[in-house]
Amino acid sequence: MRRILVRAGLFVAVLALGACAAQHAFRWDVHDMDRPRPPVVTPGAEDRLPPSDAIVLFDGTDLSAWHGRGGQDAQWKVENGYMEVTPDTGDIRTRQRFGSCQLHIEWASPEVIDGSGQGRGNSGVFLMDRYEVQILDSYDNDTYPDGQAASIYAQKPPLVNASRKPGQWQSFDIIFHAPVFEDGQVKKPATITVFHNGVLVQDHWEIQGTTRHKQRPSYDPHPDKLPLRLQDHGDLVRFRNIWIRPLDD
């Protein structure tokens, strides 16, 4: 009899522990009315336009959100609603710093084809100043796959080549989760999802480290937030309609 009671007691204890664990696994009941409501966001009039909670980094008028070489004002040309790389003035960086984010950016490579491979419409979007999504005129222009448009440069080719013709406006929609560092080591690598002209080209891919040229990537610990950077690679690449939504990880 005593043995049966002990076994029953153990069974009840296990059940209680299980219920406790289940409660921790599910913070909210199913259909819980106390659950906080997601914030209301008004979408842009067109999907490419910034929603109400976005930070607009370039609306076609000025470069006040950006700085150039050495913290000086950005020197790229602004006209007709776009900015254009002005060769030899250097990369431009946002004054504000960002970590995880959703980013929308539109770009166009020069209509007049000049050069080939990496020398044709080259620029780049550097998340956190160091993880490059490549911009290149990849329309009928062969190069190494991990360096074509929408590649994670020197790491990962895009799933498909969704490039438009030179001179046409193209878009990147990027979802980026910043890496997490602990004791000088990467604890959680960055991940990236990219849509090129609305087509999925990077699918929650784990970035392997800081973008390097002709070198294997690796992580260097860095702050939680850093500027977004656009590359001056000497080609007359244009940009317009750039907005960002910081994400809470």
* 121 contacts Mg ion (rule: CB under 5 A): no
The helix or strand, by DSSP H or E, that contains position 8, with its residue range, turns out to be helix 2-25
Query: What's the min distance (Å) between Cβ of 231 and Mg ion?
Result: 5
Residues 7-36 that bind Mg ion (CB under 5 A): none
* 147 contacts Mg ion (rule: CB under 5 A): no
CA 211 to CA 238: how far, in whole Å? 22
Number of residues interacting with Mg ion: please give it, by CB under 5 A.
Answer: 3
Q: Taking CB under 5 A as the rule, which mask of x and - marks residues 173-212 in contact with Mg ion?
A: ----------------------------------------
The helix or strand, by DSSP H or E, that contains position 13, with its residue range, turns out to be helix 2-25
* 110 contacts Mg ion (rule: CB under 5 A): no
Query: What's the min distance (Å) between Cβ of 20 and Mg ion?
Result: 53
Q: Which stretch binds Mg ion (CB under 5 A): 11-19, 109-117, 121-129, 238-246?
A: 121-129
CA 225 to CA 28: how far, in whole Å? 31
222: Cβ–Cβ under 8 A, 6 or more apart, which residues? 128, 130, 181
Q: Which residue is nearest to Mg ion (CB)?
A: 124
Q: Letter for the amino acid at 188?
A: K
Q: Which stretch binds Mg ion (CB under 5 A): 19-27, 51-59, 114-122, 186-194?
A: 114-122
Dihedrals phi, psi of 20, to nearest 5 degrees: -65, -45
Residues 216-235 that bind Mg ion (CB under 5 A): 231
Tell me if residue 229 falls in helix, strand or coil.
Answer: strand
Nearer to Mg ion, 109 or 231 (CB): 231
Nearer to Mg ion, 68 or 124 (CB): 124
Query: What's the min distance (Å) between Cβ of 62 and Mg ion?
Result: 24
Structure tokens belonging to residue 187: 């604890």
Q: Letter for the amino acid at 214?
A: K
Among 68, 110, 124, 166, binds Mg ion (CB under 5 A): 124
* 158 contacts Mg ion (rule: CB under 5 A): no
In order, the DSSP letters of 80-148 are TTEEE--TTS--EEESS-BSSEEEEEEEE--SS--S-GGGSS-EEEEETTTEEEEE---TT----GGGS
Q: Which stretch binds Mg ion (CB under 5 A): 56-64, 99-107, 120-128, 205-213?
A: 120-128
Residue holding tokens 């991990």?
Answer: 146
Nearer to Mg ion, 50 or 94 (CB): 94
The site for Mg ion (CB under 5 A) is made up of 122, 124, 231
